[in-house]
């Protein structure tokens, strides 16, 4: 990326943009958007505020780029889940991927942490978080509808309701992780879910 190599006015930057972005992601993941101050961010990134503005724009722009990084690096399991051969396997991969993700570095899901902390209608990133969540939900609804059409369930189910159930489980697991639940405890939730999954 050109802007990662050349600073404003053509001077080389004295920091690696990707490393700084990864550091910012960890701060947002730990504190959420509202809880992360510019001081928190610049200290973790090892840069000054002018350097942050020059490389990333404002805090809102930095968060969006950090969220892009989070989605590409930490949420790849969602695509893997969507490609599963059955609805039960979709649920299994989604739950396992969520637990792996939220117990790997910082407890909890960045999207959930941020959505919970950004309740104000004036929050500059609330709409972006909602749009990203809806994109995932729409893809899951479509996958569940295909499973229904293929006769993947032994009882009548509705695609959107089943998807909201899965998302509520994922969000609940993320909140529990943030509250200190162990990986073993979270895996027990996933196992209980799969034990009662309405398969054929």
Return the domain boundaries, the chain: 2-66, 75-195
- Asked if residues 32 and 113 have their Cβ atoms less than 8 Å apart, the reply is yes
- Asked if residues 171 and 72 have their Cβ atoms less than 8 Å apart, the reply is no
> CATH for 2-66, among 3.30.70.930, 3.20.20.70, 1.10.10.60, 1.50.10.10?
1.10.10.60
pLDDT in tens, 63-86: 989 888 888 877 888 899 999 999
pLDDT in tens, 148-192: 999 999 889 999 999 999 999 988 888 888 788 899 999 999 999
Q: Give CA–CA dist 197/166, Å, rounded.
A: 11
Task: For 75-195, give the CATH class.
Answer: mainly alpha
Enclosing H/E stretch for 48: none
The three-state secondary structure class of 199 is strand
- Asked if residues 79 and 154 have their Cβ atoms less than 8 Å apart, the reply is no
Q: Taking 50 as the threshold, does the pLDDT of residue 12 lie above it? A: no
């Amino acid at each position: 990326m050109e802007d990662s190599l050349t600073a404003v006015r053509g001077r080389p930057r004295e920091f690696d943009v990707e490393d700084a972005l990864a550091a910012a992601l960890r701060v947002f993941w730990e504190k959420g958007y509202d809880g992360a101050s510019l001081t928190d961010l610049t200290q973790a990134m090892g840069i000054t505020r002018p350097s942050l503005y020059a490389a990333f724009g404002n805090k809102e722009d930095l968060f969006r780029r950090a969220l892009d990084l989070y989605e590409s690096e930490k949420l790849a399991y969602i695509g893997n889940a969507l490609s599963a051969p059955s609805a039960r396997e979709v649920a299994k991969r989604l739950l396992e991927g969520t637990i792996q993700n939220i117990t790997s570095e910082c407890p909890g899901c960045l999207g959930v942490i941020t959505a919970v902390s950004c309740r104000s209608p004036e929050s500059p990133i609330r709409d972006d978080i909602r749009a990203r969540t809806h994109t995932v939900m729409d893809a899951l609804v479509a996958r569940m509808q295909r499973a229904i059409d293929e006769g993947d369930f032994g009882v009548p189910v509705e695609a959107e309701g089943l998807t909201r159930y899965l998302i509520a489980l994922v969000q609940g697991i993320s909140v529990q992780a943030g509250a200190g639940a162990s990986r073993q405890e979270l895996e027990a939730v996933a196992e209980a879910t799969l034990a009662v999954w309405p398969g054929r």
